[in-house]
Amino acid sequence: MDTRNFSLRHVGISKEDLPEMLHTVGVDSVDALLKEVYPNDIFLPKEIELPEPMTERELSEHMTELASRNTPYTSYIGLGWYDCITPAVIRRNVLENPVWYTSYTPYQAEISQGRLEALFNFQTVITELTGLPLTNCSLLDEATAGAEAAMLLFNRRSREQVKRGANKLFVDKRLFETTIAVINTRIVHQGMELVVGDYKETELTDEFFGVMLQYPDSVGAINDYPDFVAAIKEKGLTCAVAADLMSLVMLTPPGEWGADVVFGSAQRFGIPMYYGGPSAGYLACRMEYKREIPGRIIGLSKDAYGHPAYRLALQTREQHIKRERATSNICTAQALLASMSGFYAVYHGADGLIEIARRIHSYAGHLAKAAEELGYKQYNANFFDTLLFQLPEGKTTEELHRIALEYRVNLRYFECQNCFGVSIDETTLPEDLNILLQIFAETVGKEAPTLSDVPTDTLFVDKKWQRKSTFLQYDTFNKYRTETELMRYIKRLDRKDISLAHSMISLGSCTMKLNAAAELDVLSNPYFGNIHPYAPDDQAEGFLEMLHNLEGYLAAITGFDATSLQPNSGAAGEYTGLSTIRAYLIDKGETQRDVVILPASAHGTNPASASQAGFKTIIVDTDDKGDVDMEDFMKKTEQYKDHIAAIMITYPSTHGIFESNIVAICRRIHDCGGQVYMDGANMNAQVGYTNPGFIGADVCHLNLHKTFAIPHGGGGPGMGPICVKSHLKPFLPKHIVRYGNGANQVSAAPFGSAVIAGITYSYIRLLGIEGLKRATATAILNANYMAQRLKDTYGIVYSGEKGRVGHELILECRKLKEATGCDENDVSKRLMDFGYHAPTLSFPVHGTLMIEPTESESKAELDRFIEVMECIFQEAQEVAQGKADKEDNVLKNAPHPQYEVCADEWKHSYPRSKAAFPLPYLNDNKFWINVARIDNGFGDRNLLPAMCDCDAFFAELKEQQQQ
Ligand SMILES: Cc1ncc(COP(=O)(O)O)c(C=O)c1O
């Protein structure tokens, strides 16, 4: 083995494995297989140009060199990002722990209890700090949370408001500019009107349905909102409040003074600034909004034996079910960051958080006092951490700015020449305050005062704003104060979860490939971590070079001309791509183009994105082979010809097949005057051999957290950059702060989740084009190998013209159900007893399992998974043959938790060994499950999204147990 060739570490199949695999598949070579898989008109005529692959060592040196060109200054800029301390115990045991970062969104709740509990902790923090009872386990960032809040208020309009067409949302001008820009991008498509003004002056007529405020506001002031909120309530308006989570530790929660929705960012709960992201956005609301709240909610429920167990609650709200009628579109969120922020609160508890928040506040107050002695005026009468200063008469910020840079300090500057802002954070020390005073003093030519023994708990805020309610009094937030205890708590949780650290996760359409350690190093490098997104460019040279080069690589790989890294998930990418198309059409004067064509098999996020971007959706049937039904396609495109804005198409299709009509489909849409949007979720089957640009698309999004090695993090972070042809380039998202233009802006930070772009960058640099092609070809080989091995038992639902699948395969389970009574869900749960995560369940075809092996799995692991699937198939046959009971069998009762297998009493008609150790390898390596099959309905009927109000829930549970 060439130990310098990293692609041989990334790809699981070796040269030695090939002959047997090719023989099974029935081809002479991988190239021969690819010719049978791809339609021959889509092969790229020439190689994509990318830099030569690096060794791990070379990558490390290269990233160190880039990092050395980032200069993290001390930033007091604020505006939604604050330096903070990630406790090392959380960094090492969560952020750098593959069990946490490689697990998937917890759809399979029985093997996800650890991260579900961590996310439940996060939800508890959010509900308690905001003073509202319902929340989700993260949104993409503060600005998109603001857009979700706007939609929520709109969807909750009263009947009278709907009747009279009340469509105006009032947004106070004191919100962060970025939040306003992103809300504007979003709501304009929904027929809402955004009115930005001063809450003290604007008259709210009948045309308004809601109001948005920020607390403390964008310059740091705490305004007297309660009377205003009471007055708008009288008029039947609702109110959403953007709030700094750390400030709520000290300040009266908005939920206590009338807010219906509170949203913001949890970044300063232990997440580095990362040049903008990722970190978790949050949104809390009143319980009545439970049918409309966006995002994933973790709720407590019970398992088959009545034990409490966590699961995703109220899933019928989501785009996977509601599709174009969905009120939001969150698939990938920020789970890993939400878990980390939850642990930050668990580690510090209420006392620790109070100490941190008070210290921040107290330091800000003492700084203000000392600055005032130098002649500076501080405007915020009430504040938490952010001060708004005016320089003494005759002085301008130009001089201050120059001196601050000499001291490696970033302040917030305004357009007016004599004001500036300072936001204090958790990392600020008395020495830092003295440096600030030194800067202030030098600017005005005075001697700097020195602060010593700065008190850490002086309150500078009026009594009426001081929080009186207690919070986080539960055991979990009181037990883990020492590092040993927290480390063990994190370990206890991670033992409950299956991740890539345990076994292959064959989720179709999710590409759970290797997330290599070397690629992830960037996340722990403080020279990438501690940079504020609004730091001047010369402090982020390395970052900018990396991001710029990555944009180029992604454009080259997709065959397009430009890239935007802003979208923070695939769904956000879809929405961004469609908004870009919309802006282009408006610019062309083709506003009548309001239809998006979608194949029936489209992922739920596609129709949801189309309707969020303000389009109508028209569904085209798929035929028996799983391809777009060309007859229906031609009919519909004829019917809507002049109204087609775009088609959204996934390629290879969500059925895992490279449709041979794809080029003709693109051409037809163009002939109709529409644009082709390619959903890049399946890009892993294209990279290096073909690409959306060559095939004929105009725009695509990429799920960097699938194809390009960013881990899934248990449900995020993700990145969904879009790549476009040149005619769409002028309409790509801008950024209000970075470019002074917020057109089409879709995320708070200019480059979205900038730091994780470094993972993809590293992946591409390690593999080079040769390695990327090896990955693509092997992913296709592995899927076809599996298809051949499983076709005679379960059966494969779709294959292409030459009988081949693409990079994934859909396993037939409907026949199994007919013959044995065991369905795809039973197979999924039984896989857990073997230590495996289920493939994708009933998507895109009901009654099936979709398997995507990816290129990173070894042949031994593929063979073991096949053996397990065959074993489960045989177990189901035992039911058909009458050897196993129809109800009391290993599939129906799966999974078998440890407490059941080890109990003194065993009630089943089959032995314990069959339940828990059905194959010999399990004697060596058993993954123990801690809950039995979870009751989905119970958790929804008794929704419990946080630790408060547990009493009623447990009373109901007890009553049921007694029955
Ligand atoms: C085909 C397809 N499109 C879009 C998405 C949405 O991506 P994300 O989860 O990043 O929002 C997915 C996610 O599974 C997908 O499979």
Give the position, in ligand 1's atom list, of the atom nearest the Cα of 843. 16
For residue 148, is pLDDT > 90?
Answer: yes
**Range from 343-357, 906-920, 949-963 carrying the lowest mean pLDDT:** 949-963
| Nearest alpha carbon, ligand 1 atom 8 | 570
Name the residue with tokens 């005679």.
Answer: 792
Among 105, 139, 320, 332, which residue has the most ligand 1 atoms within 8 Å of its CB, making it the best to mutate? 332
Quote the CA–CA distance of 35 and 31 in Å, as a whole number. Answer: 6
Average pLDDT of 700-705?
A: 98
Q: How far apart are the first and last CA of the chain?
A: 63
Rg (CA), the chain: 28
- Quick one: tokens of 593? 């183009």
In the predicted structure, residue 952 carries a pLDDT above the cut 80? no
Atom of ligand 1 nearest to the CA of 571: 11
At 204, list the tokens. Answer: 């709210």
Ligand 1 pocket list (CB less than 6 A): 331-332, 509-510, 569-571, 603, 605, 650, 654, 679, 681, 703, 718, 720
The CA-CA-CA angle for residues 527, 533, 535, to 5°, reads 75
Question: Whole-model pTM?
Answer: 0.98
Least confident window among 119-128, 139-148, 217-226, 322-331: 322-331
Position of tokens 């051949």? 788
Q: Calculate how far, in angstroms, residue 603's C-alpha sits from the geometric centre of ligand 1.
A: 7
CB 565 within 8 A of CB 699: no
DSSP 904: S
Q: To which residue do tokens 């005016």 refer?
A: 390
**Residues 573 and 701 sit within 8 Å (Cβ to Cβ):** yes
- The chain-wide mean pLDDT, for the chain, equals 96
Quick one: pLDDT at residue 249? 98
Taking the CA of residue 679 as reference, the ligand 1 atom at the shortest distance is 3
CA angle 148, 152, 155 (to 5 degrees): 135
Q: Which atom of ligand 1 is nearest to the CA of 332?
A: 9
Q: How far is the CA of 568 from the centre of ligand 1 (A)?
A: 12
pLDDT of 661 strictly over 90: yes
Question: What is the tens place of the pLDDT at every residue in 505-535?
Answer: 999 999 999 999 999 999 999 999 999 999 9
Amino acid letter, 343: F
Q: What would the 3-class secondary structure string for 644-697 be?
A: EEEEEEECCCCCCCCCCCHHHHHHHHHHCCCEEEEEECCHHHCCCCCCHHHHCC
Structure tokens at 66: 């880039």
- pLDDT of the residue at 57: 98
CA of 722 to the centre of ligand 1 (A): 13
Question: Rounded to the nearest 5 degrees, what angle is found at the Cα of 419, between the Cα atoms of 418 and 424?
Answer: 145
Closest ligand 1 atom to the C-alpha of 706? 10
Ligand 1 center–CA 126 separation, angstroms: 26
Between β-strands 409-410 and 386-390, what pairing exists: parallel, antiparallel or unpaired? Answer: unpaired
Q: Residues 927, 896: contact at Cβ < 8 Å?
A: no
Ligand 1 atom showing the smallest separation from residue 330 Cα: 11
Cα–Cα distance between 579 and 584 in angstroms, integer? 9
Omega prior to 216 cis, within 30 of 0? yes
Question: Please, are residues 509 and 685 in contact by the beta-carbon 8 Å criterion?
Answer: no
Ligand 1: which atom is nearest the Cα of residue 509? 16
Determine which helix (DSSP H) or strand (DSSP E) holds 282, and give its type and residue range.
strand 281-285
pLDDT tens column, 540-598: 999 999 999 999 999 999 999 999 999 999 999 999 999 999 999 999 999 999 999 99
CB-CB neighbours of 574 under 10 Å:
32
User: How many Cβ atoms are within 10 Å of 659's Cβ, its own excluded?
Assistant: 25
The best mutation among 598, 601, 605 to test binding of ligand 1, ranked by most ligand atoms within 8 Å of the C-beta, falls on 605
Cis peptide preceding 717, ω within 30 of 0: yes
Question: What is the pLDDT, as a whole number, of residue 955?
Answer: 79
Strands 644-650 and 675-680: parallel
What per-residue confidence (pLDDT) applies to 188?
87
**For position 543, what pLDDT does the model report?**
98
Q: What's the pLDDT band for 1 if we cut at 50, 70, 90?
A: confident
How many Å lie between the centroid of ligand 1 and the Cα of residue 175?
31
Which numbered atom of ligand 1 lies nearest the CA of 510?
14
The rounded Å distance from CA 240 to ligand 1 centre is: 29
Counting atoms of ligand 1 from 1, which one is nearest the CA of 705? 10
Distance (Å) of CA 673 to CA 576, 593, 648 = 20, 9, 14
Strand partners, 300: 310
Task: Choose one of 296, 509, 657, 760 to mutate for the ligand 1 pocket test, by most ligand atoms within 8 angstroms of C-beta.
Answer: 509
pLDDT(958) > 90: no
Do 572 and 144 contact (CB within 8 A), yes or no? yes
Question: How much distance in Å is there from the Cα of 863 to the middle of ligand 1?
Answer: 28
Cα(565) to centroid of ligand 1, in Å? 16
Residue type, 630: M
- Kindly state the tokens that stand for 945: 């999204």
Contact 407, 399 (CB under 8 A): no
User: What b/e readout covers 11-24, taking b as 16+ CB neighbours within 10 angstroms?
Assistant: bbbeeebeeebbee
Q: How far apart are CA 271 and CA 273, in angstroms?
A: 7
Identify whether the C-beta of residue 809 lies closer than 8 Å to the C-beta of residue 787: yes
Residue nearest to atom 15 of ligand 1 (CA): 681
Distance of CA 46 to the CA centre of its chain: 35
Quick: pLDDT tens for 80-139. Answer: 999 999 999 999 999 999 999 999 999 999 999 999 999 999 999 999 999 999 999 999
Q: State residue 228's pLDDT score.
A: 96
* Gap from CA of 330 to ligand 1 centroid (Å): 10
Residue range 31-61, pLDDT digits in tens: 999 999 999 999 999 999 999 999 999 999 9
CB 763 within 8 A of CB 11: no
Could you tell me the distance, in angstroms and rounded to a whole number, from the CA of residue 688 to the centre of ligand 1? 21
- Token pair in block for residue 498: 């299956």
pLDDT of 961 above 80: no
Best of 318, 320, 331 for a ligand 1 pocket test (most atoms within 8 Å of beta carbon): 331
Ligand 1 atom at shortest distance from the alpha carbon of 574: 4
Answer whether 612's CB lies under 8 Å from 189's CB. yes
**How many angstroms is it from 92 CA to the middle of ligand 1?**
29
CA distance 918 to 868: 9
User: Which pLDDT band, with edges at 50, 70 and 90, does 625 fall under?
Assistant: confident
Nearest protein Cα to ligand 1, atom 7: 570
- What dihedral do alpha carbons 396, 398, 400, 404 form, nearest 10°? 170
Nearest protein Cα to ligand 1, atom 5: 570
pLDDT on residue 417: 81
Say how many Å lie between the CA of residue 701 and the centre of ligand 1: 10
Query: At 329, is the secondary structure helix, strand, or coil?
Result: coil
C-alpha of residue 842 to centroid of ligand 1, in Å: 15
Dist CA 602 CA 498 (whole Å): 28
Cα 192 to ligand 1 centroid, rounded to whole Å: 27
Nearest CA to ligand 1 atom 12: 681
> What residue spans of 263-334 are helical by DSSP H?
319-322
* 415 band by pLDDT with thresholds 50, 70 and 90: confident
- Using a pLDDT cut of 90, give the percent of the chain over it: 94
- Asked if residue 577 lies in contact with residue 723, where contact means CB atoms within 8 angstroms, the answer is no
**Ligand 1 centroid to residue 571 C-alpha, Å:** 6
Contact criterion met (CB below 8 Å) for 301 and 310: yes
At 215, is the pLDDT very low, low, confident or very high (cuts 50, 70, 90)? Answer: very high
Which atom of ligand 1 lies nearest, measured to the CA of 105?
9
Relative to beta strand 809-812, strand 848-851 is: antiparallel
* DSSP per-residue codes, 604-649: THHHHHHHHTT-EEEEE-B-TTSSB-HHHHHHHHHHTGGGEEEEEE
> Quick one: pLDDT at residue 949?
65
Across the beta sheet with 386-390, the strand order is 377-378, 386-390, 419-423, 412-413
pLDDT in tens, 900-936: 999 999 999 999 999 999 999 999 999 999 999 999 8
> Percent of the chain scored above 70 by pLDDT?
100
The CA 310 to ligand 1 mean position distance, Å, reads 24
Distance CA 421, CA 619 (A): 52
Atom of ligand 1 at shortest distance to CA of 569? Answer: 10
Q: Are 303 and 932 in contact (CB under 8 A)?
A: yes
Tell how far the Cα of 705 is from the centroid of ligand 1, in angstroms. 10
**Residue 285 near residue 293, CB atoms below 8 Å:** yes
Structure tokens at 163: 């009747």
Atom of ligand 1 nearest to the CA of 703: 10
**Closest-lying ligand 1 atom to the alpha carbon of residue 329:** 11
Measure 32 CA to ligand 1 centroid, in angstroms. Answer: 30
**Average pLDDT value for residue range 647-662:** 94
Q: How far is it, in rounded angstroms, from Cα 368 to Cα 363?
A: 9
CB 644 within 8 A of CB 595: yes
C-beta separation of 942 from 907 below 8 A:
no
Span of 188-202, 314-328, 646-660 with lowest mean pLDDT: 314-328
Residues with Cβ within 8 Å of residue 464, at least 6 apart in sequence: 252
Cα(375) to centroid of ligand 1, in Å?
55
Phi-psi region of 390 (alpha: psi -120 to 50; beta: other; left: phi over 0): beta
- Kindly give the interhelix angle for 56-68 and 541-558, rounded to the nearest 10 degrees: 130
Confidence grade of residue 423 (pLDDT, cut at 50, 70, 90): very high
Q: Angle 483-494/113-130 helices, nearest 10 degrees? A: 120
Most ligand 1 atoms within 8 A of CB, residue of 703, 810, 841 to mutate:
703
